[in-house]
């Protein structure tokens, strides 16, 4: 994970700040309703936003039947998420576009590292008793060490939700500090499992404690909870990121995960990041989307953008229609077009 900002080293636990947190739920709901109630990105600019979204994806497989072959196929897609002819039609002939990372279980890290050799795509590994975080602490730390030794550059750790539900912030902080130490140079993405935390206030508090303990990213969900990433929870976490930056000067990344499977959803989260934190948080050193099927829909929408219709079903689309996110083809799509501040040729920079 290359970055132009200083890595968050963590700070002493500020319990006064954590305990004094207050969240206005009605205000959160009103704010996020503005994203779903309007077109978040101008139609002419959507293709570049979706190209950017590809670079934000942590392409993920976390299934009980994962095999080396499945991981290798996923990595091949990660290295070439769009066909060369599509890139050429989008004015990006010769450009290299890849996803942000490939995320797997610790036992599959070596497979992914081997498949991604020479690509500069980092391997991320879940750890610490994913998804429940209920295994003994030494075992959770050992999982981190195993994944790092196998070549993982990013570790997605899960918090013990009981600490949040009982308000034992010191225990949560101490445990995450141990996780961060075990990660070493690998970046730590801390999964809050927000669907199991009880309230938006607790989401905000857990976000603060995670950052104080040295998290490089905070992440909404494991993808295994009944309720995964929502815009309301994301807004609360993003406000925590902003508050932490204002107080300590360290930028921490954000990763929504679980249930984000459409291009329209991806652009809603991109818009939230841009409006709340600015363009810098659209780049993949500060913003990732955990997803397994999102890339398929983005490819489908970009095909429609290029051709004006959807590909045949076996190629990821359907008949000629106007029900997609990108519901008109471009009049012209050149290298100098700006996409709400993003140049097409600069979407990967």
Q: Show which residues are catalytic.
A: 156, 219, 255
H or E stretch covering 58 = strand 57-60
**C-alpha dist (Å) from residue 288 to 103, 137, 142:** 11, 27, 25
Please return the burial class of 5, using the count of CB atoms within 10 Å of its CB with bins 0-12, 13-18 and 19+: middle
Tell me the torsion sign for CA atoms 265, 271, 272, 278. positive
> Torsion-angle region of residue 124: left (phi > 0), alpha (psi -120 to 50) or beta?
beta
Q: Could you give the CA distance from residue 227 to residue 51 in angstroms, rounded to a whole number?
A: 27
Q: Which of 96, 218, 108, 212 is nearest to 157 (CA)?
A: 218
Tell me the torsion sign for CA atoms 122, 73, 61, 142. negative
Q: Which of 314, 290, 284 is nearest to 300 (CA)?
A: 314
Q: Could you give the CA distance from residue 104 to residue 110 in angstroms, rounded to a whole number?
A: 10
Tell me the torsion sign for CA atoms 31, 266, 131, 113. negative
Q: Which of 103, 164, 157, 150 is nearest to 129 (CA)?
A: 157
What is the DSSP secondary-structure string of 126-157? E-SSTTTT-S-HHHHHHHHHHHHHHT-SEEEE
Q: Could you give the CA distance from residue 32 to residue 30 in angstroms, rounded to a whole number?
A: 6
Taking 3-state DSSP, the helix, strand and coil percentages for the chain, each rounded to the nearest 5, stand at: 50, 10, 40
């Amino acid at each position: 994970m290359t970055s132009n900002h200083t890595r968050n080293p963590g700070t002493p636990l500020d319990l006064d700040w954590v305990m004094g947190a207050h969240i206005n739920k009605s205000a959160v709901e009103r704010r996020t309703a503005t994203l779903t109630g309007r077109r978040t990105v101008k139609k002419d600019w959507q293709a570049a936003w979706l190209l950017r979204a590809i670079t934000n994806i942590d392409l993920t497989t976390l299934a009980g039947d994962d095999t080396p072959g499945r991981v290798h196929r996923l990595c091949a897609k990660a290295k070439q998420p769009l066909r060369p002819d599509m890139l050429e039609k989008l004015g990006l002939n010769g450009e290299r576009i890849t996803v942000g990372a490939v995320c797997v279980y610790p036992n599959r890290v070596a497979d992914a590292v081997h498949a991604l050799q020479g690509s500069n795509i980092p391997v991320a590994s879940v750890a610490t008793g994913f998804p429940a975080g209920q295994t003994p602490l030494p075992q959770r730390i050992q999982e981190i060490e195993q994944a790092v030794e196998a070549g993982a550059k990013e570790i997605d750790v899960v918090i013990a939700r009981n600490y949040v539900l009982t308000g034992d912030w010191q225990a949560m902080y101490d445990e995450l500090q141990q996780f961060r130490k075990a990660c070493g140079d690998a970046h730590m993405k801390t999964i809050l499992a927000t669907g199991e935390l009880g309230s938006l206030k607790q989401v905000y508090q857990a976000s603060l404690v995670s950052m104080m303990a040295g998290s490089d990213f905070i992440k909404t969900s494991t993808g295994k909870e009944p309720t995964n990433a929502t815009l309301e929870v994301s807004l609360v976490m993003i406000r925590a990121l902003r508050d932490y930056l204002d107080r300590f000067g360290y930028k921490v990344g954000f990763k929504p995960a679980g249930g984000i499977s459409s291009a329209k959803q991806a652009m809603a989260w991109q818009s939230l990041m841009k409006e709340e934190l600015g363009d810098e948080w659209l780049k993949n050193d500060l913003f990732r989307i955990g997803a397994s099927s999102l890339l398929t829909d983005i490819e489908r929408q970009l095909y429609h953008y290029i051709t004006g219709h959807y590909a045949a079903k076996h190629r990821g689309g359907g008949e000629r229609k106007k029900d997609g996110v990108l519901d008109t083809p471009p009049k012209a799509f050149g290298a100098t077009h700006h996409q709400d501040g993003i140049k097409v040729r600069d979407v990967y920079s």
